[in-house]
């Protein structure tokens, strides 16, 4: 049966519409069997492990970005003529 929390959409948007969140009831399956419809879907060990590793990886990237940003800031301090360009760069750092 179709998940009654997300209406089978698998994800739903946050109230400000900025990001999509995986449905916590069906865990992104969109459908539930009758046991799951009462108890909610259970995440498999594999999914749990995957999620854990993804979070660790994200934290590493986050730390990496902070390091790069602080190096760029140092550089900008020493090269005031480049400061504006470097500040733009710092703002636009993204890791996908
Ligand atoms: Zn759902």
Distance 30 CA to ligand 1 centre (A): 5
CA of 36 to the centre of ligand 1 (A): 11
Q: What is the pLDDT of residue 11?
A: 86
Q: What's the whole-number average pLDDT of the chain?
A: 85
Q: Mean pLDDT, to the nearest integer, of 48-55? A: 86
The answer for 93, left when phi > 0, alpha when psi is -120 to 50, beta otherwise, is beta
Ligand 1: distance of its center to the CA of 31 in Å?
7
Query: What is the C-alpha separation between 10 and 3, in angstroms, rounded?
Result: 8
Q: What pTM was estimated for this model as a whole? A: 0.48
Domain locations in the chain as residue ranges = 1-42, 44-96
- pLDDT reading at 51 higher than 90: no
Q: Ligand 1 centroid vs 24 CA: distance in angstroms?
A: 7
Q: Ligand 1 centroid vs 83 CA: distance in angstroms?
A: 48
The pLDDT value given to residue 85 = 92
Mean pLDDT computed over 27-38: 87
Mean pLDDT of 3-20: 80
The answer on pLDDT for 22 being more than 80 is: yes
């Amino acid at each position: 049966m179709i998940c009654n929390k997300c209406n089978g959409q698998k994800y739903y948007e946050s109230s400000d519409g900025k990001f999509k969140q995986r449905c916590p009831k069906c865990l992104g399956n969109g459908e539930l069997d009758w046991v799951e419809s009462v108890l909610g879907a259970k995440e498999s060990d594999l999914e749990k492990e995957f999620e854990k590793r993804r979070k660790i990886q994200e934290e590493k990237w986050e730390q990496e970005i902070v390091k790069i940003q602080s190096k760029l800031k140092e550089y900008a301090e020493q090269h005031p003529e480049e400061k504006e360009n470097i500040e733009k760069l710092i703002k636009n750092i993204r890791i996908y």
